[in-house]
Amino acid sequence: MKATFLKESRPHNWADGMLISRLIAGLALLMFSTMPARADDISAAGRGVVRIVTIASAESEVVGFGHGSGFAIAPNRVVTNAHVVELAARYPDNVVIGVVPSEGDKSYQGKLIAYDAQRDLALIEFTGTRLPPLTLFPGAVTDGESVIALGYPGNVDVATAQSAADFIKPLGPVRSQGGFAGIRKLTGVQVLLHTAGIARGNSGGPLLDTCGRVIGANSAITKAEEGDSSFGFAVADSELVAFLQEAKQPFAQTAAPCISADERLRQGRDAQLRSAEARAADAQANAAREALQQQLALDKAQVAAERKRENVIAIAGVLLVMGAMMIGGAGLLESRRRRQGAIWSAAGGGVLIIAAAIVFLTRPFGDVKLPPPEPSPTPIVQATFGKMVCRIAPDRSRINLSNPGDVLIDWQPDGCMNGRTQYAENGAKWDRILVPNDEQTVSILEYDLATRSYSESRYLLTAAQMKQARALRGAVKQKACTPSEADRQLLARQQTAIRDALPSRPDEWLVYDCNPAPEAAPAATSSPAAAEPRRAQ
């Protein structure tokens, strides 16, 4: 069993006798019907997968034709295998490179920018359109983990292509799935061994994890003999990163763990349920604690009331005894003919008896009233307006393709973000929908005053979906901040039309917790899109 490179090469023997002029012209406008997209991470990655076509000519005749696969690493640059464009590297004046996107209606001529035969990697630049770049995943892949290959296998083309024109017609890539089988060395280069089904023509196509991040570039397969199993080889992400760095080509990567949207939503629901249960348990514990405290206070007040009642009765008794004694003393004084003293003594005794009666009749009867509860201290509420530093909350986010950092915002009560961009009120929240011209991503930016949280929900759309979203965006005229409530209500209605055209859930969502910025923090400024807050450096 040996490894075989995956480039599909064909001599010029087309039955229709296509001339070189027609082949090269075929890299121009070709209309086609866009296939419906599957709303998952792999389909989102497929938007940036391309077919690479090479056409060799000599003396105005086509003498060779080959094709492989590739993927966007920047809006105008794609990665493929070096062996796919080997002829273009050797004979640049006689070989044309074609870049065929997975959607749209055109193909584009490419230019070889970087070439590494040892690593079997090449970088191609093109103009005329912008592709959504794929994100690299530099983390470890575990044995048996599911992996997905995207590309344009030649055996599928043989079965479906009617002519050479079909090879330069935009078409979605073929998807196959298998398992990660280990890391090996192939001609001194680190490669990933896997069982995803690939064939000649898959060369240069991405090998993805289940979240659509690139873990390698497919380059070879084992040739099965006598019933042996076949395996695929993909140039490892570490080799790809080194190649791009040497070519001084920026790229996106994230080490965030792969969590599916469904799993993250389930985790979010579970977290909300646990939070609700915790709040209910806290409320129940607080109620029980307050009830116990109230009962203890009631018992204490009851004991105090009984003691007070007994003391009052004792005082009434003492007054009664003293009054009786004084009246008795008055009689004694009268018998001794001390009339003046008897009168005063009798009067004093009468007063004491009356006082005893009053004290006894007004004694407490055991009715206990608790003092009013002390008012709870007013909680200190942090400001929800002004300059904020927002930090990512990983447990409430689905970080799939991004590498988020701190975000600086300057929020005003009328929905003005960073002094430039107007947000629309949407229930208890404020939001703004971004539909850029140069990306296939729609973002909903949202600020929630109640929780002081900022979020970005990202929808990775097909070309057809972006065309519809941009058409709806054309009705939105309000860009700058406005004090007019009527203008903000109009903006909200216009954004509702865009929101209704989006899928039911985003592909990625980033949630940030915001707190007042320190005095020394730099002023927040908006991005060129005039709506997305500034990333902290």
* 3-class DSSP string for 34-70: CCCCCCCHHHHHHCCEEEEEEEEEECCEEEEEEEEEE
Is 70 exceeded by the pLDDT of residue 15? no
pLDDT digits (tens, 9 = 90+) for 39-65: 589 999 999 999 999 999 887 787 788
Q: Is 188 left (phi over 0), alpha (psi -120 to 50) or beta?
A: left
The neighbour count for residue 346, using CB atoms within 10 Å, is 19
Is 80 exceeded by the pLDDT of residue 220? yes
Amino acid code (one letter) for 88: A
**Residue 462 pLDDT grade (very low, low, confident, very high; cuts 50, 70, 90):** very high
Report helix, strand or coil for 509: strand
> For residue 129, what pLDDT is reported?
94
Indicate the average pLDDT of the chain: 84
Mean pLDDT of all residues in 420-427? 92
501 versus 335: the higher-pLDDT residue is 501
Mean pLDDT of all residues in 11-30? 40
What pTM was estimated for this model as a whole?
0.74
Is 90 exceeded by the pLDDT of residue 21? no
Q: For 3-258, CATH number?
A: 2.40.10.120
> For residue 371, what pLDDT is reported?
63
How far is it, in rounded angstroms, from Cα 204 to Cα 81? 4
**Residue 465 pLDDT grade (very low, low, confident, very high; cuts 50, 70, 90):** very high
**Residue 36 pLDDT grade (very low, low, confident, very high; cuts 50, 70, 90):** very low
Mean pLDDT of all residues in 113-117? 97
Question: Of all residues in the chain, what percent carry a pLDDT higher than 70?
Answer: 84
pLDDT digits (tens, 9 = 90+) for 275-330: 788 888 888 888 888 888 888 887 887 887 788 878 888 887 888 888 788 888 87
Residue with tokens 């001084």, as numbered in its chain: 248
> For residue 534, what pLDDT is reported?
54
Residue 18, exposed/middle/buried by CB under 10 A (0-12, 13-18, 19+)? middle
Is 90 exceeded by the pLDDT of residue 151? yes
35 versus 78: the higher-pLDDT residue is 78
Which value, to the nearest 10 degrees, does the dihedral of the CA atoms of residues 343, 347, 352, 354 take?
140
Q: Which of 2-6, 185-189, 256-260 has the lowest mean pLDDT?
A: 2-6
> For residue 226, what pLDDT is reported?
57
Tell me the CA distances in angstroms from 366 to 291, 319, 371, 437, one per residue in order. 21, 22, 15, 80
pLDDT digits (tens, 9 = 90+) for 363-386: 777 666 666 666 555 555 456 788
- CA-based nearest residue to 150, from 97, 215, 96: 215
> For residue 523, what pLDDT is reported?
46
Is 90 exceeded by the pLDDT of residue 528? no
Tell me which DSSP letter residue 426 carries.
E
Q: How many helices (H) and strands (E) does the chain have?
A: 9, 26
> For residue 217, what pLDDT is reported?
97
Centroid of chain to Cα 5: 39
> For residue 385, what pLDDT is reported?
82
Cα 40-507-472 angle, rounded to 5 deg: 105
How far is it, in rounded angstroms, from Cα 443 to Cα 454? 13
Is 90 exceeded by the pLDDT of residue 24? no
Mean pLDDT of all residues in 32-45? 61
> For residue 22, what pLDDT is reported?
43
How far is it, in rounded angstroms, from Cα 30 to Cα 169? 6
Mean pLDDT of all residues in 130-154? 94
- Residue 3 contacts residue 222 (beta carbons within 8 Å): yes
